[in-house]
Structures are given as structure tokens and as C-alpha cells.
Amino acid sequence: MSQETAVMLQSAFRRLKRRPTMQYFTYDRPFRLESGKTLPGFTLAYETYGTLSPARDNVVVIPHALTGDSHCASHFPGDEPGWWEGFVGPGLAIDTDRYFVICANVLGGCQGSTGPASIDPRTGKPYGMRFPMITIGDMVRAQRELLRHLGIEKIRVVVGGSMGGMQTLEWAVAFPEMVEAIVPIATPGRSSPQSIAYNEVGRQAIMADPNWRGGDYYDGEGPDRGLAIARMIGMITYQSDESMWNKFGRELMNATLDELFSFSTQFQVESYLHYQGKKLVERFDANTYLYLTRALDLFDLGRGRGGFKNALSRIRVPTLVIGISSDILYPPYQQKEIVSTLRELGVDAEYAEIDCPYGHDGFLIEAAKVTEILRDFFDRLG
């Protein structure tokens, strides 16, 4: 076991299960980032599903959302469910009997890929906050090197939601010669002030935790409380008012009369948020949360490309953009803006909206509706 892997297992993501289906790609040369800084190299954890055709022309890339990883679906009966379970597999929306699916943990991540908790080979210690700032563009260029390693030069479709949708758009803009179709879901073409505001509050919760210690907490207790609060804030943005009423209402957690009139009162919605915060702490690194949310904030297809419309002009392939009617994090108008701009540019772009009460999480929950839309689009692509 390498020194980096050993430290990874001992760090904030030490509780990650090492999956036998996970593979690793190591890029052992300097990798220049959008910021101008350079990583001495990196590792990406990835998983594949299905069989690569002899012509290598049946590739589907699925980038993951903020706290996702390379395990988008189970590989065999009894395997751990993936974050997009029910969407990827034999006979499903993304049919692995037809397509070869690649899902990689992003650069800057904490589920096997190089990120803040990894060892800096120049110091022999975890990077912590000395890890350079990364962008959505950096994530995609790192994935491009993975595909180069696999001998893949054409991608049939890139499909992803939320942060995965940002990567989907970036793929089509940065590497238009490789991508044949895209499906960005519940994502903007540039982050809004409101979404940036949500992320900043979460970051401040982490950095205010005394156990954060400027990001150098890997030899002891980490900022678990701060990360849990950040997750609680995030979970609120993934819901909608209607979904909160439907799930929780004003129900209490068996509160006694004495508890009712105190700060110990636990409404069901409070209990849910605490549970979700605890769950994330068990599998995610706090510094990674800081870096990935900043990458979300920095996302703007038009930066360095002559503006938003000019950037979208690089997309020349069939595009299906999916929005969620009740999404408060990335509202449907942001997806419609992408489609209307692409249509002005003469691109075959269409918009589909999932009408549901679940908020941003709708793309993870509404399996039947998303499957119908995806399957129709994939079938029309042939």
C-alpha cells in the first residue's frame, strides 16, 4: 500500500469502503490548473460499467454531483447501491448492455482521487489548505487524461446532474471534438449569487469549527460539527417548501411537555437535518467540501471565453437540458437560459422539465420520469 493510500485511509475519509470495482488512474506529470498553479501529478478513482465496443464508440461519461463519487450504481446483486441507482445498468435509462459507462471521482475529491487530504509528495504531509484551488474545468481536463489513458477519443453522451451537469457542459465547451451529445440536469451555465451565498455559509460553518485548525486536522479530530452544519444548510437547498411539508409537516419527535418549551425540542425536520449531517461526516472530508463548493462558485462557462454566449457557441451537438420545477438551488430559468441561447446559435437543443415537489433532489428521486426522458433521447441518438 502506498503512503498516499495509507494516509487517505487514516484521514477524514478513512471510513470509505474500498470497493473491489474501483480502479485508479495516475497522471505522473505536472498538471497545470486554471489558476496558474501546478499539481505535481494526480490520481483519479473511477469505475466502469458495461463493455467497451471494439470501435470504442459507445462511451457514456457520468460526472457526479458535489458529495458523490465514482460509484454511481451497483455492479452485481448485493453490491452497495450507487448514488444514481436505478438509472444505470442493464436495460435501464443508461443501458450498460449498450453503453460503456465511466464515472470518476473528481480531482479535488475525497473518495479515492487526489484532493486536500492526499499526501503532497513535495512535503510528505497532507495538502490541507495548501492544495491549489481547482475549477470545474480542471476536473474535466483531468478526466480527459483518464480517457486518453483508456484509449478513448469519442464520447457518445455526457450526462450529469448539479455539479455533474456543470462538468457535462464544460466537456462540450472544452472538448467539442470529442463529445457527440450532452444531457446537463438541474444545473446552470454559471453560478448565481444566491447559490454562492448558500455555499459561503456552509464554508464558514466548517472554518469556525475549532477542530478545523486552518485545515491541518488530519492527525486528530476533524471539524465534524462544522461539516455537519454545512451539510444541513445544503440539504435545505436541495428540498422545496412543498417537499418539507409532505415529508415532515410540523411533527415532533415524541417531545414531552417539558421538552416542548425548550431548545431541545426536535421537530422531525430537525432530526432529519442532524441525521444527514452525521451521515456526511462519516464519509466526506471537510476540506474537500470547501474546495468543491468554491469550484461551484467559480463556475462560469463564459470566463476566459469571451462571455457566456460565445462559450456556448462551441457546443454543436444534440443537447437535452433537464430542469426540476421546484428546484430552489438551480431554478428552471437557468436551464431554460442555456437552451434558448443554444437555439439562437442554431444548436439542436431541447428542454424537459420534471414536474415534482422534491426540489433539487428531484433528479435523484424521480427515477421513472427521468428515465422516460433519457431513454427517449438516447433512442433518438441511435
Respond yes or no: is residue 360 known to be catalytic. Answer: yes
Q: Which of 138, 285, 327, 361 is catalytic?
A: 327
Respond yes or no: is residue 326 known to be catalytic. Answer: no
Q: Which of 113, 162, 243, 313 is catalytic?
A: 162
Respond yes or no: is residue 64 known to be catalytic. Answer: no
Of residues 187, 200, 195, 203, the one with CA closest to residue 301: 187
Enter the C-alpha cell of residue 268: 422531525
Residue 301 neighbours by CB distance under 10 Å = 26
Active-site amino acid positions: 162, 327, 360
